[in-house]
Amino acid sequence: MTTTLSHQKQAEALAIELAVAQLSTLADLPARCALLGLPNPAATRGQVLITVLGRPLALQPPAFTARYAGSDRESKPAERLLALHYLACETPVTPDERWLTFRDFPGGAFYWQPFCARSVQPLIQAIGNDIARLQERLTRFAATIVDGPADALTARVTALGRIELQLVYRSGDEEFPPAADVLFNACARRVCCAEDAAALASRLCLGLL
């Protein structure tokens, strides 16, 4: 287990290094921010502000170090990497009404079971049929609740910049156990690889425990 975690951290550190190197060649940072719906760095003391699961991160060029906005505390490496990948996107990220499952990402079908194990399964075990408790905990992410049946809950959460996640949770009965899924706005495929998508879903679900 320790070796696996060490390899994950090494891979994460390398991915951050590559993302920073890519951004170091960016000629017009304000234009990239405008393209992605981010505030102009000129208005934020040169920092790039990106919301990651309801919490704004401040990236500071040229090394693009990351701190939680309004704080001196460094962000978690996984959140920094997500923000870097968002900023590295070269095309507009515009949400629409199309939603994807994790299976729709390249390699997502192959990694479906690990994805569930690190996201919806722990949430289902913790929440069970207590829809009211889940709704209360979703306030941690400033979620928007979508109208639906009393035995189910659908909530939208701003996950990364303009990218939204949609948590769909259904309580169980005598025949079927509780079930849940995390959907991704279709624009997420412009930014996220399968690992990024899994990290977003995992951080959302584990943040609701």
pLDDT for position 189: 93
**Tokens 């049929």, located at residue:** 129
pLDDT tens digits, 138-195: 999 989 998 777 778 999 999 999 999 999 999 988 888 999 999 999 999 999 999 9
Residue 92 lies in a domain: no
Question: Residues 62, 112: one domain?
Answer: no
pLDDT for position 207: 94
pLDDT for position 109: 93
pLDDT for position 168: 95
The reported pTM is 0.90
Q: How distant, in Å, are the alpha carbons of 101, 143, 148, 208 from that of 139?
A: 23, 6, 18, 9
pLDDT for position 20: 94
Residue 94 lies in a domain: no
Domain boundary among 52, 87, 122: 87
Which CATH number do you get for residue 191? 3.30.310
Lowest mean pLDDT among 1-15, 21-35, 65-79: 1-15
pLDDT for position 149: 75
pLDDT tens digits, 68-114: 988 889 999 999 999 999 999 999 999 888 999 999 999 999 999 99
Q: What is the CA radius of gyration of the chain?
A: 18
138 token code pair: 């979703």
Query: Which residues are paired to 48 by β-bridges?
Result: 59
| Domain interval for residue 113 | 99-206
Question: Residues 127, 187: one domain?
Answer: yes
Give the dihedral sign, CA 195/199/200/206: positive
pLDDT above 90 for 22: yes
Mean pLDDT (whole number) for 114-141: 94
Neighbour-count burial for 90-122, b at 16+ CB within 10 Å, e otherwise:
eeebebeeebbebebbeebeebeeebbebbbeb
pLDDT for position 186: 95
Helix (H) or strand (E) holding 193: none
In total, how many domains does the chain have? 2
For residue 171, give the 3-state DSSP assignment: coil
Question: Residues 160, 80: one domain?
Answer: no
pLDDT for position 1: 53
Domain boundary among 87, 121, 137: 87
pLDDT for position 5: 56
Question: Residues 52, 127: one domain?
Answer: no
